[in-house]
A and B are shown apart, each in its own frame.
Chain A
């Protein structure tokens, strides 16, 4: 199974500042034949289902603000929020869909400093 490890477990960032969450997979999720990273990012607010933010490691889902961006390849990935807004307080998860069992990171809780 591919193990997904996020860091940090929690962070607090001031409004308007940059927030960075890292995700590392135990093996590459880059599929050589199509050069795509099978990696997604989700945002989950209390009492709500997860919301897809990013897939293919860097493709923003329709309707997601452009302050959210994803980067990385192979085994190391990053979700960046360029200018933190109050509504971004949530838990963020990465997920690999390279192979079953699909696996999620443990989550990173993001708060306002």
Chain B
């Protein structure tokens, strides 16, 4: 069974940093693009960042560009999100998600496997 498990979320003060992790199992991690998507309490879904199989292609939402950094370690089947200069508006449940496209075929970045999320709360 394909599975993603996020960790690292907690209460943090504005301006501080946090690193989220996501461990994958049940599929060949390095065959797929990976993503972070967040959902503020009671709100809709917001794409945060994407990283290609070989880390050669990376993209960010404007709301996090310059503050967040996505990375992956294919040897550890792990995805990361380094979050710096956190703001109250970054408060959300952060999901790790996998692309549906094997070997990034046609860059089909629909997200077919999701973790259960890790909650980040930014508050003083």
Contacts and interface: CB of A to CB of B under 8 A. Distances in A.
B46 A49 contact: no
Interface string A79-113: 00000000000000101010011111111000000
A103 B35 CA distance: 13
Given A40-B110, A100-B59, A49 B95 contact: yes
Interface of B: 35, 44-47, 50, 59-62, 95, 100, 106-112, 114-117
Interface of A: 1, 34, 36, 38, 40, 42, 44, 48-52, 55-56, 61, 93, 95, 97, 100-107
Contacts of A36: 106
B47 A56 contact: no
A76 B108 CA distance: 19
Nearest to B50: A100
Nearest to B106: A34
B102 to A, nearest CB: 13
A40 to B, nearest CB: 4
A55 B108 contact: yes
Contacts of A105: 44
B81 to A, nearest CB: 16
